[in-house]
Homo-oligomer: A and B are copies of this chain.
């Protein structure tokens, strides 16, 4: 194996390779580009396709998940119910004179960090380049100047920075005022932060009346189809749906290349499970998987020390809540390692309670370390019954599982009964939502309303639309009734592993990139064969016509075996052609020369070691097929080593 650490990582070199080889480039580049939008060129597309193929096999096929493909254009009502219309926002403020727009939390962070840096300079402390601990840091470059601060102020700034993700608009406004934060370049005043919804909005159809959004996640498309999916699965849980598709977020100020973009590919799994049975039948297969974790309580202490632990232990100790969540954490870990993520630079960080999404009850992020710090690449959340419940209440559709009980259960229960004659005229257009809210109430709440009726002759409820409605005994009665239950009815909980494919792809580029020990200028993308865009490069030693049928034959053999290959018959030297393909991450190279014509032998080069072996066309093709499928590794290729030029005789 080559020494990948001989030279330190140089981001500018990687960026140059990505552009030069067209892994990706700014979208509409000839029009000056558009922040947060990127196009993938041929090697980037192939790398992405191979990551997705590995993902599909590792998750969908291995676990017989139900794949769906739902629309990106989403009815406004659906995202209103899910909470995205109201809550999927960031705070932004403007320069009062230039109109420049900033994401408020990023700006406060950048300004305070710059001041702390200036303070250190003023104190003559050496500036140690801090490893960037968080992707969210350093959004907007703010220049520092050497100004000493009071010790108390330093302390205050540090406290603010540690909590920067927690502030709402009011609090950010206070911080901006209290700490005299100005527009960084102009030093003008800033407006008060206002909420900006991150969804792209549009209108469906010609009337202008039907609001639509581009989905910010694929998940809602799964949930609204839950009924059909459950039926497809013969009414039984657990099962999972899976979807690979684009999502969209209209970021205020996207930066950091592929890490924060406005359109991105996601691969999302929604695993539906009985809330009382969160064990997992295949947990034993993964319990020995080693993780690096950063639990909630460590972070609360302000620390970031990682713990090495097996999934089995983590679940046993209650650090990870349940087997199903632990199972997916382990499977995510295995997947990321398989495609080439460095396991030492991978951690699972538990969300702190204040940063959790509005729907989640527990969440572990797979974070990958890059030159931008630790980046969230996969979220693994327990969304509880949140989504299915809100959609069920809103639509009146029962998104529940009905399971036969082992024996019939007879129970006394509070049961509401509606007086339709009064109910309809009273609530008019809201009749349906009030009714479905009433029927979704649990026993204690029903009993409470009954008591209200008896004592005060009225009560009220808050319906799913957020409004309060008054209830009276004339509108509905609540009485104890006897129920014979043959079935248990429950809303499944959802465990959601959600992959940001673009972020994973970028992290993989960083982890794969190195320069040859003997020549810093010769850079390589050392992808595992599984995901390499092209598995084999075929290079004829010259443009001789004699080689054409041989090359055609080799290409055809590889293609038949599903191995992507390319021929490079340009006039560059073989060394240059290999160098080009090192940058494309092509793991194997075949050289065809005059000996091939006479003896049917070709040489096989491995990218990372640059070792060469020699064999017949059949032997070499067979070796490449096995290498590409991961059946063998390079040292196991049982062919004689080779150095120098083949002898044609």
Contact = CB atoms under 8 A, between A and B. Distances in A.
A205 B35 contact: yes
B49 A67 contact: yes
Contacts of A564: 61
| Copies of this chain assembled into the complex | 2
B227 A71 contact: no
A302 interface: no
A394 B394 CA distance: 49
Given A34-B210, A41-B66, A49-B67, 19 more contacts: A25-B225, A28-B224, A30-B397, A31-B394, A39-B68, A39-B221, A40-B68, A41-B228, A41-B232, A42-B66, A42-B229, A45-B67, A71-B263, A73-B214, A73-B248, A101-B207, A204-B250, A205-B250, A246-B246
Interface in A216-235: 221, 224-225, 227-229, 231-232, 234
Given A92-B206, A202-B214, A77 B31 contact: yes
A72 B263 contact: yes
Interface of A: 21-22, 25, 27-31, 34-42, 44-46, 48-49, 61-62, 64, 66-75, 77-78, 92, 99, 101, 196, 200-207, 210, 212, 214, 221, 224-225, 227-229, 231-232, 234, 246, 248, 250-253, 262-263, 391, 394-395, 397, 399, 559, 564, 566, 570
A245 to B, nearest CB: 8
Contacts of A391: 30
B101 A31 contact: no
3 nearest A-B residue pairs (beta carbon): A39-B70, A40-B69, A42-B66
B224 A70 contact: no
A46 B60 CA distance: 11
A400 to B, nearest CB: 13
A62 B227 CA distance: 41
Contact of A75 (B34, B46, B206, B253): B34
A218 to B, nearest CB: 11
B92 A67 contact: no
A207 to B, nearest CB: 6
B37 A73 contact: yes
